[in-house]
Structure 1
Amino acid sequence: MVLVGDGGSTKTEWVVVDPERGPIKRFRTKGINPYFYTFAELIEELKQAVVPETVGIALTKVLFYAAGCGNPSSTKILTEAFEACYGSSIETHVGSDMLGAAIALWQNEDGIAAILGTGANSCVYQNQGIVKNVASLGYILSDWGSGAVLGRDLLSEMLTHKMDPKLIEAFYDKYEINKLDVLDRIYHQSKPNKYLASFTPFLKENSFHPQCQAILEDNFNKFFDYYILKYSEVENLKIRLAGSIAFHFSEQIETIAVQKGVEIDKVMQSPIDGLIDYTVDKSTVL
């Protein structure tokens, strides 16, 4: 049996897959990003949330794709954490969420893959691997179009009273927070990116309002300029997107795509189903 995990900063989706028969169990845990955990905390999280879900299942392999796993040190830490929980005999492969999304979106084909969820990223995927990848700098320095940056921009406009008074009133009625609450959550508590992304439903609900439209258009324009149009391959490869923001704001994103002269071939809310198909088809390693 193969345990397949697709982890973002907000949530992680898991599936136990029989390579011959397909998925036999699904479950979800909170996001597992090694940037936000110590080694001991990673082990504790796996033991509390993941191991109990696989009791009695003869796992032979773990395939885990996650935000924050794009460098060797993070990959090593997570590999060792899985081995601490399941034993060193289990075959463990850890890769970036970008690789997982690219595999899910393109399988054995070539194309441009992008993530728009809590964070943002993209790559050129060819010959079943990432051959080009723009720098992923996180929600403070880049990640335009992501849930974290959309939420950040919305909060900035709200807290500086630049929004329509009716929108401000609706916002505070919905979330029942004040400036001190926001500053405490962002600067003094863990996972501020997840907190910021939690405000994107307000943008979705009010996407017809010109000020919300402006935030969305500014972000998605910057997303295409940085994450898509930087690649010369955009001239001959199709584009596919994965992630909650890509899915829920697909109409706005496709409008900007047309303006940029490119076409979105496919949008997938979560990569996990594509990863299941790939695992069943190939019983693959990374």
Structure 2
Amino acid sequence: MLKKPNLLEYLSVHHYLNDLYKYRKQTEVSFSYDLWAQELDFKNRSFLRQIVTGRRGLTSDTARQLALRLNFQGVERQYFDLLVQYSRARSIERQSALGRELMNLLKSEHSQQEIEDYCEFVSETLYPKLQTLLSFKDVRKTPEDLAPLLRKSPEEINKALRVLEKIKLATQEPNQEWKSVPKSFKVPEAIGDRNLLEYHALSLREAIEARSLPKDQRRYLSLILPLNQQDFAEFWEEFNKFKKDMIRKFDVEDLRNRQLFQMNLNIYAVSEEGTCRDGDPTPT
């Protein structure tokens, strides 16, 4: 059985595109370079074929167009952008640096376990914080030791640990300490999911209450930007890259001299779309 090429297994954009073309050619009777050029919004089949075969390099605009039309999201989009830069690198030093970024991205993605029963996991903001604490090597993981770190009672922590155990994220060891089952975790992206929306609402209420914390333990920032739908999607992609970079940079195994910090990002429209003034040319 033919398997669709996986972008994350390639170190050449052109090899990936070539294998993707061959896969679709063998699985779709009417598929051709003409049809693919139309799908990808390229001017002609010859231009596309030169890119696929490596006779023509990818410009920034062409790469952005491909990423959009091939519907790369999340880590695939980040990997594709890095792969394009990797293929265009002119020096060994630059190529080596980009190669390390590609490997770090794969390592980060593969080490994170996606939580299947996320509805219960996000029903309390305590659960993700507690799950994170369980991953540190230098933290004693009994309810009595964990409770003061999260400003909760041992009874509350014990109850939360039992929930994490039920959804197979934590387990109790013979010495009565608890440990995290996955080294790192992530919640699936389910835009519009009621459970996630409620979790974010609870988290934002906690962020408001954090105003009383010392200034060295909290920051607030507001930014207003003019965006169309394409800009909005690009902003979100850029933020996801930033998020991945921060996770890789600050991924440590010890909590000594550190506190857990939580960052909430909310972005939403605060105006209606602008229209042209009378007499102004209509934008195209």
In the superposition, the TM-score normalised over structure 1's length comes to 0.28
**Which has a greater percent of helix?**
2
**Which has a greater percent of strand?**
1
Q: Which has the larger radius of gyration?
A: 2
